[in-house]
Amino acid sequence: MKIAILSRKASLYSTRRLVEAAKQRGHEARVIDTLRCYMNVATHRPEVHYKGEILEGFDAVIPRIGASITFYGAAVLRQFEIMGVYPLNESVAISRSRDKLRSLQLLSRKGIGLPVTGFAHSPDDVDDLIKMVGGAPVVIKLLEGTQGIGVVLAETQKAAESVIEAFMGLKANILVQEYIREAGGADIRCLVVGDKVVAAMKRQAKEGEFRSNLHRGGSASLIKISPEERSTAVRAAKVMGLNVAGVDILRSNHGSVVMEVNSSPGLEGIEQATGKDVAGIIIEFIEKNAKPYKTQTRGKG
């Protein structure tokens, strides 16, 4: 197979591992810088142009689209979909997963356990909004934050009110969520490929921090997850329409809840913590599933 990997940099760990795993299995893999792709979108023969050449003959495309380029990245991926190239994750599913509010609404509709979460536009009802999610402490999140940036813990009612009012004053969209203190600064990252959790790790926030993101200094270790957590993670990925996803779970005293579903999960932490060849498993999934024009939305959404 000829596989395109949409990624800003060939030297990134996940990108390198995917290239390596594809080559090991006898495939051709090429890293394509997403932002250097351009296209004529008003033609009967859809094409992607790249640094002066026309990209041709790809069987599959692996999108590794950073949060800061979601809009353009999804458009490039959609163009590959229109050309019939099989996407590991499709553009519509990636766009969905990048919006925390949209994701939670979709997950909740399918009965996936979630932290109690509120959303409001007007600062007039902030008091009631905080009550609605159970009162302080609460976690306040920017809708399109990532790597823990834009996630704030407000310990008291007063702090929560002022943070929410400040964000609203800046016209930022936010979620207000119950703080799951009993998780103790830890969450579980489940790496889902197809209908399986192929690797899981516990991420523990560093001392004095509640955010477990590895980018925020969190540390990773092995963890055994329950059969319920396993099936919840797989269902959450399915609801989002993602073949490959990093599903983050918090253990709360009302059960394990899904905090978010990531569409370009990093491979470094999880491969190192578990010793699993996740990149290889992803390439195998593509071998089994890649067919021309095989998407749920076929570039329509």
> What's the CA gap between 63 and 4, in Å, rounded?
8
C-alpha separations of 61 from 27, 28, 101, 157, 275 in Å: 13, 12, 27, 47, 25
Sheet order of strands, 255-262 included? 219-222, 196-204, 186-193, 244-252, 255-262
Count the site residues for ligand ADP by CB under 6 A.
23
Q: What is the CA radius of gyration of the chain?
A: 20
Nearer to ligand ADP, 46 or 150 (CB): 150
Q: Residue 213 interacts with ligand ADP (CB under 6 A)?
A: yes
Where in 237-276 is the site for ligand ADP (CB under 6 A)? 248, 250, 259-260
Residue 86 CB, nearest approach to ligand ADP (Å): 27
Give the SS3 label for residue 253.
strand
Q: Residue 174 interacts with ligand ADP (CB under 6 A)?
A: no
> What's the CA gap between 86 and 73, in Å, rounded?
16
Nearer to ligand ADP, 8 or 141 (CB): 141
Give the SS3 label for residue 4.
strand
Q: Residue 160 interacts with ligand ADP (CB under 6 A)?
A: no
Q: Residue 177 interacts with ligand ADP (CB under 6 A)?
A: yes
Give the SS3 label for residue 74.
helix
Q: Residue 34 interacts with ligand ADP (CB under 6 A)?
A: no
Where in 128-147 is the site for ligand ADP (CB under 6 A)? 139, 141, 145-147
Where in 218-237 is the site for ligand ADP (CB under 6 A)? none
Extract the tokens encoding 179: 């703080």
Q: Which residues bind ligand ADP (CB under 6 A)?
A: 115, 139, 141, 145-148, 151, 177-180, 183, 187, 205, 210-213, 248, 250, 259-260
